[in-house]
Chains A and B, each alone.
Chain A
Amino acid sequence: MTTQETKNVPLVDIQHLYAGYNGEDVLKDISLTVQPEDFIGLIGPNGGGKTTLLKVILGLLKPRKGTVRVMGLSPEQGRRFIGYVPQYTVFDSDFPIRVRDVVRMGRLSPKRLFKPYTAADDAVVAARLDWVELGDLADRSLKELSGGQRQRVYIARALASEPQLLLLDEPTISVDAEARAHIFDLLHEINLRGVTILLISHDLNVISRYVKSIGCLNRTLYYHGEKQVTAEMLQQGYNCPVDLIAHGLPHRVLAEHEEHRS
């Protein structure tokens, strides 16, 4: 696909999506378009469908209704342009593997079956490790790294496929405040390098400082491509957990609501 073609086509185009498990919709009537160079943060409670939305975009879950296009293609075909950073909890932290070998996985594709990694692959791997400031830890074992460092390894792996879009599922869960700020600084730089970013988090407080636009996802999506968390959005999406919204924001009145869904 040439850059000219990609200019007119949104990276992700979701229209009236319904999806879920065992016949029960977790996502209802979601419409979302991701344009080149966006940096979108979606917040929402656990069980609000954040991970489900990412699975649909990645073609790991079939929608029940509605359309999903990635780079104008079906998710299965379009996902090769996506770099995916899964939630930290899916990993076996004891898995014996070197940092370099994890990042190399980003270079894999069906075309690469039967072909060993090349020097060109390793050059990309080294460059992406530098983007996340882990160049000197390439030969370390993953289990020796801190939580924040590991998260950066997974970001480097996603970037190693040279994606148009970086999808992150709770990138700062289980890391301390300092590491969290570092990761977001890096994501900001990555976005400036021309990689579009869509991330989901339950931590509005942190992401609001970095992203270009914010949405709230709790089974339905409140997103208008704006940075402000508007009063209207909060009103409509007030069943986002209040502790996430109220802290440090001028909407403390929401803390009165007892709408926790954990």
Chain B
Amino acid sequence: MSGILSYGFMRNALAAGVLVSLACGVIGTLVVLKRMVFISGGVAHTAYGGIGLAFYFGVNPLLGALAFSLGASLLMGWAQRTTRQRPDTLIGVMWAIGMAIGIIFADLTPGYKADLMSYLFGSILAVTPTDLWLMLIVDVIVIAVVVLFYKEFQATAFDESFARTRNLPVNFLYILLVTMIGLAVVMLMRVVGLIMIIALLTIPAAIGSLFLKSMDKIMWLATGLSVVFTIGGLLLSYAFNLTSGATIILVAGMAYLIALLVRRLCQRCPVE
């Protein structure tokens, strides 16, 4: 263990694991409870368009990802709220178009493009101190917003019609939430890659909601589980020389299957 910690990149990677887990646990819980898994996947994949464009124009890819991610959040959030018919189709179409834009602009960019793969599959070992600061800022924003609007988020996730009859600003809260999903997506991209973001965003919260009876407890447990999955996956990937993002997701996926099994075998187990 101390051997691993002597590497600077490993210390950064472990810190990144903890930092993303905070946003993951908090936002992931809202994503799962408000059934926004699909829209989150859409935002993550659309961000690839921004990465491709940024590569082409020689800008920092994270900026491109951020712009596309926030743009996709707002557009998909708007589609979800205002179109009566099949918002999931619109989201699916944007998802694919975003990916296509990224691939085309990567094609148009001359030179070696191996770095593009790291956004698809993650590269937690390449996290820089600047990335860590950005992650910390996102964490602070996300946690502050959720603490401020906790009871309103809970009410709209549970029953939006009722929240509307209480005159709560349900549209504002929704847009706020998708914006935070957009931020979290950019941050998670460094760790597991945009293809696997949905898994890390949803699995810890999904496990929590199997066993706990309140949203705040689920957020805590999801954060803890997310730390365990990212750090555990990271160490396993180091030990067996595997791709870190994929290992993290497999660890999380195995845990989810086990949790489902436990819940099934123990239907009458109390929820805390």
Contact = CB atoms under 8 A, between A and B. Distances in A.
Interface residues on A, range: 35 or more
A161 B167 CA distance: 12
B140 interface: no
Given A95-B33, A96-B33, A96-B213, A110 B162 contact: no
A80 B161 contact: no
Interface in A75-132: 76, 79-80, 82, 84, 86, 90-92, 94-98, 101-102, 104-106, 108-110, 112-114, 116-117
A117 B151 contact: yes
Interface stretch (B49-57, B88-96, B152-160, B254-262): B152-160
Given A84-B161, A91-B159, A96-B33, A108 B152 contact: yes
A28 interface: no
Nearest to B161: A86
Nearest to A157: B162
Contact of B161 (A90, A94, A144): A90
Contacts of A80: 166-167
A98 B213 contact: yes
Contacts of A98: 213-214
Given A91-B159, A101-B214, A117-B151, A108 B166 contact: yes
Interface in B195-235: 208-209, 212-215, 218
Interface string A137-148: 000111110000
A102 B158 contact: yes
The SS class assigned to the B binding surface is helix
Contact of A84 (B33, B152, B165, B212): B165
A245 to B, nearest CB: 30
A109 B271 CA distance: 30
Contact of B154 (A97, A110, A113): A97
A169 to B, nearest CB: 10
Contacts of B161: 58, 60, 84, 86, 90
Contact of A104 (B148, B151, B157, B163): B151
A258 to B, nearest CB: 33
B169 interface: yes
Contacts of B214: 96-98, 101
A84 B209 CA distance: 27
Given A96-B218, A101-B154, A114-B148, A141 B213 contact: yes
A105 B166 contact: yes
Contacts of A79: 165, 167
Contacts of B157: 95
10 contacts: A60-B161, A80-B166, A84-B165, A96-B213, A96-B215, A105-B158, A105-B162, A105-B166, A109-B167, A113-B149
Interface of A: 58-60, 76, 79-80, 82, 84, 86, 90-92, 94-98, 101-102, 104-106, 108-110, 112-114, 116-117, 140-144, 157, 161
